[in-house]
Amino acid sequence: MPVLNVDKVAIGYTSTLIIDGLSVSIPEKKITTIIGPNGCGKSTLLKAISRLLKTKSGAVYLDGRAIHQLQTKEVAKKMAILPQSATAPGGLTVFELVSYGRFPHQNGLGTLTKEDYKHIYWAIDVTGLNEFKDRPVEELSGGQRQRVWIAMALAQGTEILILDEPTTYLDLAHQLDILLLLQRLNEEEGRTIVMVLHDLNHASRFSHYMIAMKGGKLIKEGDPEEVMTFPNLQSVFNIDARMATCPFSNNPICLSYQLYQKNE
């Protein structure tokens, strides 16, 4: 049962459309990744799904209702967004930043209620940030900082989590750390996760559903077995990939690749 439905969406500026007439469904309680080469419109699609960008035509439906007609606060109670390379203002502590995730549930001066504290402490705990909670965010390492932002999104207490390249600029171990955390959230809490990932093998290993895009169009969607195939990678990324099987997830991965030469 899809929670998010993208229906014939077109997005772009006055003359040029980045995405033209794209339809796709995001399955509930699953991890979905969007892949594609640079400039294919994957971040744009993610922004449209999370109502950060307005669609020119078509609509995104959240639980069957057009997202732009919903109160932005109501949407924020159902879905949390982690934009690419978010930066915190100086001097903010981990606790404070995570507490901002409670914004859509607050009114007036924003005094934290018992319910708020429960969510905040749980989010800090589940992301393993307990020992850092009174430290300024800017003093943390890149991987820790990314976990703080995820904690903020978790404190929002939403069913859906949307992340734009959550592993960029992190080293190998920290990338895996973030993805394992997301996997756990999906398995234990049943959260729906939608994200853009650059690393194909990570995408294949951790997702239940993949969306491959190129030039603003949908090329292929389905489970990793269906999407991560030699012909698909050839048409989406212009590469000749040697495929293998991931020893951890049994999903297909790309072992190495050559540039694809068209036969003239």
Partner 1 sequence: MKEMTTFMSKSQHKAKKRNLFIVGILAFFIVIAFFISMNTGYIKLSPTEVIQTFFGYGNEKQQLILFEFRLPRIVIAVLVGMGLAVSGCILQGISRNALADPGILGINAGAGLAVMLFISFFPSTTAVPIFLLPILAFLGAGLTAIIIYTLAYKRHEGISPMRLVLTGVAIAAGISSVMIVLTLRLSPENYQFVATWLAGSIWGSNWKFVLSLLPWILILIPFVFTKARVLNVLNLGDLTATGLGASIEKERRVLLAAAVGLAGASVSISGGIGFVGLIAPHLARQLVGSRHQFLIPASALAGGLLVLVADTIGRWILQPSEIPAGIVVAVIGAPYFLYLLSRLKE
Contacting residues toward partner 1, per CB under 8 A = 13, 47, 50-52, 71-77, 79-83, 86-93, 95-97, 100-101, 103-104, 106, 108-110, 113-114, 117, 121, 133-134, 153, 156, 162
> CA-to-CA distance for 175 and 153, rounded, in angstroms?
18
Q: 90 vs 231, which CB is nearer to partner 1?
A: 90
> CA-to-CA distance for 14 and 28, rounded, in angstroms?
34
Q: Which helix (H) or strand (E) holds 64?
A: none
Residue 139 CB, shortest distance to partner 1, in Å, is 13
Residue 196 CB, shortest distance to partner 1, in Å, is 13
Q: Which helix (H) or strand (E) holds 93?
A: none
Contact 141, 95 (CB under 8 A): no
Residue 91 CB, shortest distance to partner 1, in Å, is 5
**Three-state secondary structure call for residue 132:** helix
Q: Say how many residues make up the chain.
A: 264
**Would strands 57-62 and 65-66 be described as parallel, antiparallel, or unpaired?**
antiparallel
Residue 19 CB, shortest distance to partner 1, in Å, is 15
Residue 163 CB, shortest distance to partner 1, in Å, is 11
Residue 206 CB, shortest distance to partner 1, in Å, is 22
> CA-to-CA distance for 185 and 193, rounded, in angstroms?
9
Q: 82 vs 200, which CB is nearer to partner 1?
A: 82
Residues 6+ apart with CB under 8 A from 60: 4, 5, 6, 7, 9, 48, 49, 51, 66, 67, 68
Q: 27 vs 104, which CB is nearer to partner 1?
A: 104
